[in-house]
Amino acid sequence: MAEQLLTCPNCKSEIPLTDVLTSQIAQELRTEIESEAKEKEKELIEKEKALLKKEGSIEKTISEKLLKERNNLKIELANEAESKFSLELNDLNEKLKEQQAVNEKLKDAELKARKTERQLQETK
């Protein structure tokens, strides 16, 4: 089969029809592929923005949860410390009362001993 030729209107050279068609098809494909690539790039940029927004939201949620947990731990530790120190304070108060009772007995005993000593001095 004989190859069909086209004549260039500018330079008057003859170009095989298959080359012209191949060139046109290649140009159309190139344009289509570039268009699809730009569209995919736009989609990726939108997805990236959505992910960044979601990531920021997740970080905010985590931050809020950490703050809440930290506050709960502070309250728990404060309550635990208050309970422990309250118990120790009650124990110390009991010891103080016992010590005061012992001191009162010792004072009473000393007073009795002095009274007895005075009476002995007087009887001499």
24: confidence class by pLDDT, cuts 50, 70, 90 = confident
Phi and psi, residue 9, nearest 5°: -70, -20
Higher pLDDT, 15 or 79: 79
CA dist 40 and 10 (Å) reads 39
Q: Which domain holds residue 43?
A: 5-123
Q: What is the pLDDT of residue 2?
A: 64
20: confidence class by pLDDT, cuts 50, 70, 90 = low
**Under a CB-based contact definition with an 8 Å cutoff, are residues 17 and 8 in contact?**
no
Each residue's pLDDT tens digit, 33-88: 999 999 999 999 999 999 888 888 889 999 999 999 999 999 999 999 998 899 89
CA dist 4 and 22 (Å) reads 14
**pTM recorded for the entire structure:** 0.43
**Under a CB-based contact definition with an 8 Å cutoff, are residues 76 and 69 in contact?**
no
| Total domains in the fold of the chain | 1
What the block records as the tokens of 95 is 């010891």
What the block records as the tokens of 104 is 């009162």
